[in-house]
Amino acid sequence: MLSQYDEFPVHQTGHPFSRSAVSNYSFDDGYFFGVFSADRDMFLFMGMRINPNNNMIGGYAAMMCGGIQQTVRFKRPWQGDMDTRIGPYAYRFIKPFEEIQLLLEENDSDLSFNLSWLATAPAFEEAHHFATNHHRVMTDQTRYSQAGSAAGWIRYKGELLTVQPGDWCASRDHSWGQYYERPPLAPQKRWLSPLEQPGARRALRLWILFSTPLISGFFGLHEDSDGNQLEMNDRFGTPFEGMLGHSSDGNGISLVSADHYLEFEPGGLLMKTGRVTLTDTQGNDWLLELEATGKPWWPHTIGYNLGSWKDGGSMVSYPGSDELQSEWDEFDFSRQPFDHITYSGQSLKQIFGPEFLCFIKVTLPDGQVASGSAQTELVVTPPYKPYGFHTAL
């Protein structure tokens, strides 16, 4: 089956693009985009993912504002219309790595938008994600991350918001390959041999994309229970990596290390403030000061996992019909931790959202100071001793 992608001389196998080189259901390809304003305490986040081996494309767009998280979701079969559009929801790549149109036309939810995602730093290719278990490949994936700004409009709950660069910041990533297995498109664990225990367990993930008028960028780090940044055999694995930049022209400033100090709300995993010192290849230090605003959003409602869709499945599980599927919901996550019952009936307890919207102040090596907004993904899995999390909360 030929598609529009087969017009271009970019094939990696002897088959059309409609046929994946990997038959595993955990092989997929897709995007995340964020558009946010710390001043407004508003975080618009969205994504789209193709699972070619189950012939499905799914997507979502969601707003977190004032602790209320509203999510609209879409899915349909992939082959026959191999386009980055699912009903009223679409992406258009105006200039790759520089300008991308994000569109959600009027629908049954309270959310719609027409935005230009605009790069403010080069795309950073993260170290290849590769993990095995009993010599079986569990993750084999490429991902790049990029900081940006946005222009256009958002309509949310009857209010029309004008989005302008400088007032609104943006983030994104694109990943493809074999990712960790996500039910319902995964074998039942009861029939599988026990997984081997890793030599080092990831206890902290700190992943930040930020934009300011003077400098923008990305970094990510992973640490074990004692706070050591080291290579791990899991779906992220990399100890530390990152890059800063002034534009999308590719002239990035490579980073080699990071030290951090985070302050949390009493009795939980809600970050209040943070200080991160980044060191580049020339030995220059960049100080990042973070202040969380509002409540962090929770990724479950976007549709990747079992029970995140009202049919009990996920964004790439087959719904029993070839027709376009769409739905939306709204939850109050203003008090964290919270309990949640998934649409598949699973009861989840004491949940903290991991995706923080932050004010950020950056002090450059020459003493200049720039302010903006940051997406801060913070996942702490106790025990993590440096911040006093000795047992599970």
pTM of the model: 0.96
Compute φ and ψ for 337, nearest 5 degrees: -75, 160
CA dist 338 to 267, 290, 293, 304, 375, Å?
14, 24, 18, 20, 21
Q: Which long-range contacts (CB under 8 A, 24 or more apart) does 251-259 make?
A: 251/122, 252/121, 252/122, 252/124, 252/217, 253/217, 253/280, 253/281, 254/280, 254/281, 255/217, 255/219, 255/279, 255/280, 255/281, 256/280, 256/281, 258/219, 258/221
Q: Helices (DSSP H) in the chain: which residue ranges?
A: none
Q: Which residue has the tokens 């930040």?
A: 208
CA dist 64 to 67, 216, 283, Å?
6, 23, 38
Q: Would you state the structure tokens that stand for residue 278, as one six-digit string?
A: 């980044």
Residues with Cβ within 8 Å of 102's Cβ and at least 6 positions away in sequence, in order, are 33, 35, 46, 91, 113, 114, 115, 116, 117, 152
What burial class does residue 74 get, using C-beta atoms within 10 Å of its C-beta: 0-12 exposed, 13-18 middle, 19+ buried? buried
**What is the CB neighbour count within 10 angstroms for residue 182?**
19
Query: Which pLDDT value is given to residue 316?
Result: 97
Query: Which pLDDT value is given to residue 209?
Result: 98
Residues 129-182: tens digit of each pLDDT: 999 999 999 999 999 999 999 999 999 999 999 999 989 999 999 999 999 899
For the chain, the straight-line distance linking the first and the last C-alpha, in angstroms and rounded, comes to: 51
Q: How far apart are CA 369 and CA 245, in angstroms?
A: 15
What DSSP line would sit under 44-61, residue for residue? Answer: EEEEEEEEGGGTEEEEEE
Q: Would you state the structure tokens that stand for residue 126, as one six-digit string?
A: 């993260």
What number of H helices and E strands is found in the chain? 0, 24
Q: How far apart are CA 375 and CA 370, in angstroms?
A: 16
Residues with Cβ within 8 Å of 364's Cβ and at least 6 positions away in sequence, in order, are 214, 215, 286, 370
Query: Which pLDDT value is given to residue 251?
Result: 78
Q: How far apart are CA 34 and CA 377, in angstroms?
A: 12
Q: Helices (DSSP H) in 179-326: which residue ranges?
A: none
Q: Which helix (H) or strand (E) holds 299?
A: none
Intervals of the chain under pLDDT 50: none
Asked whether 234 and 224 are in contact (CB, 8 A), the reply is no
Asked whether 336 and 268 are in contact (CB, 8 A), the reply is yes
Residues 13-32: tens digit of each pLDDT: 999 988 888 999 999 999 99
Query: Which pLDDT value is given to residue 296?
Result: 98
Q: Kindly calculate the radius of gyration of the chain based on its CA atoms and give it in whole angstroms.
A: 20
Q: How far apart are CA 81 and CA 75, in angstroms?
A: 12
Asked whether 47 and 31 are in contact (CB, 8 A), the reply is yes
* Residue extents of the structural domains in the chain: 23-189+198-387
Query: Which pLDDT value is given to residue 321?
Result: 96
CATH of domain 23-189+198-387: 2.40.370.10
Q: What is the DSSP letter of 100?
A: E
Which amino acid is present at 145?
S
Q: How far apart are CA 164 and CA 93, in angstroms?
A: 19
Asked whether 54 and 186 are in contact (CB, 8 A), the reply is no
Nearest to 147 by CA among 90, 220, 85: 220
Count of residues making up the chain: 393
Q: What is the DSSP letter of 389?
A: B
